[in-house]
Chains A and B, each alone.
Chain A
Amino acid sequence: MSALLQRRPVTSGSPPSAAPATPPQPKPRRWAPRKLRETLTAYGFLLPWFIGLFCITLGPILASLYFSFTDYSLIGEPSWVGLDNYRRILDDERLHTSMKVTFIYVFVSVPLQLALALALALVLDRGVRGLSIYRSVYYLPSLLGGSVAIAILWRQIFGANGLINQILGFFGIQGEGWVSHPDYALGTLVVLNVWTFGAPMVIFLAGLRQIPTMYYEAAAVDGAGPVRRFFTITIPLLTPIIFFNLVLQMINAFQTFTQAFIVSGGTGGPSDSTLFYTLYLYQKGFGAFDMGYASAMAWLLLMIIGGFTAVNFIASKYWVFYGD
């Protein structure tokens, strides 16, 4: 929990002003060389990280901004085309579909996943015996959920003759081929994401442990019932964790790729119903090698995720309770 509290102000953009711009008054001469030496030592330790930041992270971000204004197919030199790629984005029907698919997925699967995670954390937090076994069992899908093997399993389970329809067959129901039906294919991926509720559940459990029991005892003495205790103690004190899980799972959900790629065979079908934004970006960048357009799409994604994270942080001021 302390990690969460520390993290929030920093990620929301801590100003660099904290660096000692004005040296402190007493004994600056003795202090400065030691400080310089320690800075150099620190930069030594950070050398790999600096190289990584400039070559693997920040550099590529800036490079992709440049490429987004060019036409580039890896062969030859990038040629400057101004805002053409961004104009194409405005007219690209498939891109709009992919945004719609991604938004539906994020806004349906993340709340469902978090609700399930919270519900089970609340049940498990009430001193259930064998807690660690239940926790492990529920957590396991989170570790496996992003793998190709599980996506293959999903493709079978929700196929025309898959496990779900076999079970439905027992009750005399003739099921659809869920993954091959445009109305249901995305739903199967939502189910897959909800299935991986274990990771946020473990975080909720850790958060519930931090709530001092004396609050509940005091409230009980004052005559508050279980429902009232839940809404006036548990939920408010848990809002930082809920917020944290929300931000994290939304960012994760925006990046979903493997499941859609395997279940649809890389096409995003049927009829583009599982064409996730990242999948379309892959098709443009590494199928068609339209690197300029893919870069523009990458920047749009960065803006979207950054925008939603910012909205989350601003909105959090109104509902997240940080104590005192």
Chain B
Amino acid sequence: MVTKTTATATGQKKARNERIRRLLIHAGLVAFGVVMLYPLLWMLSSSFKPTEEIFRDPSLIPSTFMPGNYTEGWTALQHPFHHYLLNSAIVVAGAIIGNLLGCSMAAYAFARLEFFGKKLFFAIMLMTIMLPIHVVIVPQYILFAKLDWINTFYPLIVPKLLATDGFFVFLMVQFIRGLPRDLDEAARIDGCGHVRIFLQVILPLSMPALATTAIFTFIWTWNDFFSQLIFLTDPNMYTVPVALRTFVDSTSQTSWGPLFAMSIVALGPVFGFFLAGQRYLVRGIATTGIK
């Protein structure tokens, strides 16, 4: 950085020290990243190892490459693994559509309309974000049992349609508030009602917030274990996390290879969405502080 003409001996030394300092920081950050990711990489490599090697070899390279773990794991449970993947996909798709519809409607009202009780309802909405699901799960279960919804996907999808994920309502309220009101005004002068303003002005402009919502809903619903464990007890309806759980419970030390292989399959879609949607994820957490 220091040009030759102005560089004194001390200046050069300073620049060199600075370079070394930067290099050390990078070395530290890379080393830390490797330690952080090592378990994940090791799990990936172990999913191709013979099982007894998983309990002997901490290295990342399998001595023999065994894709057979995947075929064995795929058929190890009562149903082939794609059955559980499909169930998870249905739940996730329903949850995403539900959150996009329910939360954006509520968010439009909070962000753009004046109405009686707005502050109170908004405060209640924020408090529901903090509400642990464990507090409501017992009566919810009783309610869904009365509706005969246990072992269906309704308990996992319908609440999303009813905008019970306050996080996303809040995220979209914040986003819509940031959109210029002139656009609404212009549309109103052109004779648009609120429904058309919502559908044709606000929603198209809210794509980034909708994308963030969709990606987070995907990852959280895909990973969610607690409610799926409770509402789905019939193996036919099992989603990936619940299926993996029965796998691990039935596994002796001999089939960790296949178990790891299916765990990798379970993590794959999350990783894919993470790669595709990093921008939205980082913006999402930065603006609302969701996990």
Contacts and interface: CB of A to CB of B under 8 A. Distances in A.
A binds B: yes
Interface of A: 3-4, 7, 10-11, 13-14, 16, 18-20, 35, 38-39, 41-43, 45-49, 51-53, 55-61, 63-64, 67, 74, 120, 123-124, 126, 128-130, 132, 134-144, 146-150, 152-153, 155-157, 159, 161-163, 166-167, 170, 195, 199, 202-203, 205-206, 244-245, 248, 251-252, 254-255, 257-258, 261-262, 265-266, 278, 281-282, 285-286, 291, 294-295, 298-299, 301-302, 305, 309
Given A16-B120, A138-B36, A43 B128 contact: no
Q: Contact size class for B?
A: 35 or more
Contact of B270 (A48, A144, A305): A144
Interface of B: 22, 25-26, 28-29, 32-33, 36-37, 39-40, 42-43, 54-58, 101-102, 105-106, 108-109, 113-128, 130-143, 145, 159, 161-164, 169-170, 174, 194, 198, 219, 222-223, 225-226, 229-230, 240-241, 244-245, 248-249, 256, 259-260, 263-264, 266-267, 270-271, 274, 278, 281-282, 285-291
B33 A134 contact: yes
Nearest to A2: B174
Given A123-B29, A166-B58, 17 more contacts: A11-B126, A45-B109, A48-B162, A60-B136, A74-B145, A120-B32, A139-B281, A146-B223, A149-B267, A163-B58, A199-B291, A255-B133, A278-B132, A278-B134, A282-B226, A299-B135, A302-B131
Nearest to A159: B55
Nearest to A62: B139
B133 A167 contact: no
A143 B163 contact: no
A147 B267 contact: yes
A134 B198 CA distance: 38
Contacts of A257: 134, 225-226
Contact of A123 (B25, B241, B271, B286): B25
Contact of A46 (B121, B128, B174, B219): B121
B56 A161 contact: yes
Given A7-B126, A16-B117, A63-B142, A46 B56 contact: no
A74 B126 CA distance: 32
A118 to B, nearest CB: 15
B8 to A, nearest CB: 22
Mostly, the B contact residues are helix
A153 to B, nearest CB: 5
Nearest to B194: A41
Contacts of A157: 39
Where chain A touches its partner, the secondary structure class is helix
A170 B58 CA distance: 10
B39 A298 contact: no
A136 to B, nearest CB: 6
Nearest to A305: B132
Contacts of B126: 7, 10-11
B286 A255 contact: no
